[in-house]
Structure 1
Amino acid sequence: MSEPRGPDTNTSQGRLAWPPIALTATLVAASFLSPVAPAAPNVVGFDKIAHFCVFGLLGTLLFRRLRQPFLSNRRVLWALIGAVSYGALDESLQFFNPARSFDPLDWIADLSGALLAIYLYRNWAWYRRLLEFPIWGSRTASSAKNPSTQNEQG
């Protein structure tokens, strides 16, 4: 049985990965640069849930973009370093914003979300299929030839 394959990372497909990464990073940056704290539901721990989900998304997007072999530990490590470093920068800059507060537990939530999302995306085919389900129309001809779940067991 062959190794599970991730999404194509050739040049034409790879360019499509950068806008979601840039958008996610921009949303995080906008939240810590804002002069007022972002509005959130009055739910205990909601900010930790938000950090967990957003940095899980960022970790997954970075993992998809990297060009190392799909099951490579190096690919996991670089995606995790990228997401967690950005989380550390986010928390560090919040220290200087009077409307925000520095909370090391937010960084732990960033790390946890990125680690879990990367693990699920790498190891569970059903999760990959869920994230890569085409919302508008069908898959393109190039992705139909090389699906990310080819020869996998979920």
Structure 2
Amino acid sequence: MRVWIARLPVLLMSAGIVWVSNQSVTVPQPFSFADKLYHVLAYAVYGWTVLLALRTFPLASRQQVVLALSIGFLFAASDELHQAFVPGRTADLLDWVADAVGIACAVGLTIIRKEHACPK
């Protein structure tokens, strides 16, 4: 049961991202780079949930990092590709870059936190 609790957030985030990406209507942005900031923040959370889910598998830390980055980058790319087929939306390489930055930040901060954690 605990395993599914750790895996549920990434499933919910994935579904949420796909749902938002499937919306034809976009909301006005409060400032010029708000869209990119939203991408970074959403995918930082997504990257963290991927790492959380990967901790339930018997993998070395390095494998978790490589897989989290790979899964995150590929999911972000598939999300951008999906948007190319949604009326009123476009695929944007810079959106994917913002997604990748968010994922990398989440993974990087998790590594830093883990390395500097107090020993138990």
* TM-score normalised per structure 2: 0.86
Is 1:117 aligned to 2:85, yes or no?
no
Within 5 Å, give how 1:72-83 maps onto structure 2: 72-83=61-72
The equivalent residue for 1:139 is: none
Shift in Å, 1:50: 0.9
- Match of 1:99, as an amino acid? G
Q: Is 1:56 paired with 2:44?
A: yes
Q: Which runs of 5+ in 1 are unaligned?
A: 1-11, 128-148
How many residue pairs match? The answer is 117
Q: Return the index of the structure with the highest Cα Rg.
A: 1
TM-score under structure 1 length normalisation:
0.68
How far the C-alpha of 1:91 sits from its partner, in A, is 0.4
Please say if residues 91 and 107 of structure 1, whose CA atoms lie closer than 8 Å, have aligned partners that are also in contact.
yes
| Secondary structure in 1 matching 2:11 | helix
The answer to whether structure 1 residue 151 and structure 2 residue 119 are counterparts is yes
The equivalent residue for 2:22 is 33
- Where is the helix percentage greater, Structure 1 or Structure 2? 2
In 2, distance between residues paired with 1:80 and 1:22?
16
| Letter in structure 2 aligned against 1:29 | V
Superposition RMSD in Å: 2.1
In the TM superposition, what are the counterparts of 1:14-29 in structure 2 within 5 Å? 14-29=3-18
1:31 Cα offset (Å): 1.3
CA distance in 2, matches of 1:65, 1:40: 34
* CA distances 1:68-122 after superposition (whole Å, capped 9, x unpaired): 23xx221101011111111001100111112112110010011111011111012
Structure 2 residue ranges without an equivalent (≥5): none
C-alpha separation in 1, matches of 2:111 and 2:79:
26
Q: Could you say what secondary structure the match of 1:97 adopts? A: coil
Q: CA shift at 1:40, angstroms?
A: 4.5
Whether the aligned pair in 2 keeps the contact of 1:40 and 1:46 (CA below 8 Å) is no
Q: Distance between the aligned counterparts of 2:5 and 2:35, measured in 1?
A: 29
1:47 counterpart letter in structure 2: D
Residues 1:44 and 2:23 aligned together? no
Query: Is the Cα contact below 8 Å between 1:35 and 1:99 reproduced in 2?
Result: yes
